[in-house]
Structure 1
Amino acid sequence: MSAKATVRRNKTAIQTILSGDYRLILNKVYEKELINQREYNSLKSINREDAEGHVIELVDKIMNKGDDTCGAFLNLLQTDEDIKSTFPQLKDLQLNEALFVPRPVEISPPHNGVESKGIQHDSSQRETMFDDGKGKGAQHVTHSFQPCSKRSRSTKNIRTLLDINNELESSEVAALCFLCSDVVSRKHLEEIRQAKDLFSRLSEKGLLENNTFLKELLHTIHREDLIIRLEAHSGNLEETDARRVLSNFRIMLYKIYDDMTVDGLESMKLLLMSKLGKRHLDHCKTALDVFAEMEKKELISDTHVDELYDVLLKLDAKLAKTVKHYTMSR
């Protein structure tokens, strides 16, 4: 049984046990780098739920990160002395006697043992087929007129993208949409709820013909585990266009968002209240939302970041320095 399946099987029991001291388990998974700084701050700031609500959110994040992270989490529960002494009930769970170790990613076999066949449509349809295997929301496009080996490889790549879609949580999808603001229209981005919807739009732009752009996106949001999966499943794609498309401007804004604390976000919203308005800021749940509002009001752009620099200088010199580095590197 995979590590992720083991966590899922014991999910309710794990959550109930760990809720006895959720701050201890939160600090432990952060120390082991199973969650990043932004996720740690987000979980720590949950103040409207009971202790079990915090742990549920934490375990969901761990599961969304994939099998290797789940394995590291189970190892932590079984080997850390503080955890073992604080939560002795864990020893009664079937977490597998052998500790989990990362394993190479294997290419999933075709659905039902048969490669999907291309469906011919007119040229106005998209160039990929994103189907979650449940018969819902499938988006089919033509693979006709392709050699069999190329069609087979394309089908395999689509399944990999669907796997990646299933591993990304909603906050990460929102971050990816923000990073793609320069290549996908705002109207289309507002319609996106899952990563596979974004992948379809990127495919239309020819940005999924190789892994370059998607790898850069995943690297920016710290999902190296999904990059490994992408490379393992995709094989050697033709590097038809390896130029950098993700802008330094977007990367800079994401870094600020990634490093900003919850208190910093609230302070930034307060400083921008007179320019963005309370109604708009009340809908901003993250710094990325605030940056999007600033762009709408033309307070920031890839060539104009003075307003952002002045605001951050009042909050955190380190964050302001990120903007400074961007302006110096242009």
Structure 2
Amino acid sequence: MNKVIKTNKPQLINWLKGDPLHILQYVQARELITTPEYDTLMSITVPGTIVIKLLDIILGKGENVCRDFLNLLKDAKVNEFSPELRDWIETVDTESAVMVRQPGGQVTSKISASNGSHVFSPIIAGSTVGSFQMNMPFAPSVQKPDRDRERGEIQDYQKFLRANTSQLVQKVKNIDPIIDDLFLDLHNESIANVRANSTRQQKMRELLDCVNCESIAKDLVEALFKHEASLMKELQY
């Protein structure tokens, strides 16, 4: 993954320099950079230089952080402002190799879960190391609960918000923590416009006006379930 970033560094700089502060919020949220590193990057005024320094930091942190960074670029909310980046990152395979640590070093091995194998007891192929130890805790194969099923099968989040706009505007009380949860979804200007309103009703209406795609709608619904659980249960039934 280090080589992928290094080889494509000029293109990545060109794709990300259009809105470098946007990507900085995500790499900080995913803890790919430290707070001092974030502060240093934020102090730079030239967009292209911000991206160059960011990529250098990521490259210096090793293979696992490089992989996490490339996986971050696959997020639709991260790459939505650069069609070229979105098209390119879809061609990058970040899942075929997994880093396995062992005393004295590390080895990259291909891991698959098939033929009755699970992630907890994987089939390993392609390793060139004679023997190594993997400390992987055993856990039973448990079906994770489907949050959408628990929440009444919301299939279209934008449609749900439109259908309940009036109720949300009038009844949402914990508007400020909801705005905080959407910090990574919206631009600073949009956040400022929402907060500038004097009443919670006006803030909620402005926030709903900012929902222009399904991913933001889903995150808003998640925030509403988190901070307005009783109201959301009422709207569903």
State whether TM-score is above 0.5.
Answer: no
Greater share of helix residues, 1 or 2?
1
Greater share of strand residues, 1 or 2?
2
Please give the TM-score of this superposition, normalised by the length of structure 2. Answer: 0.40
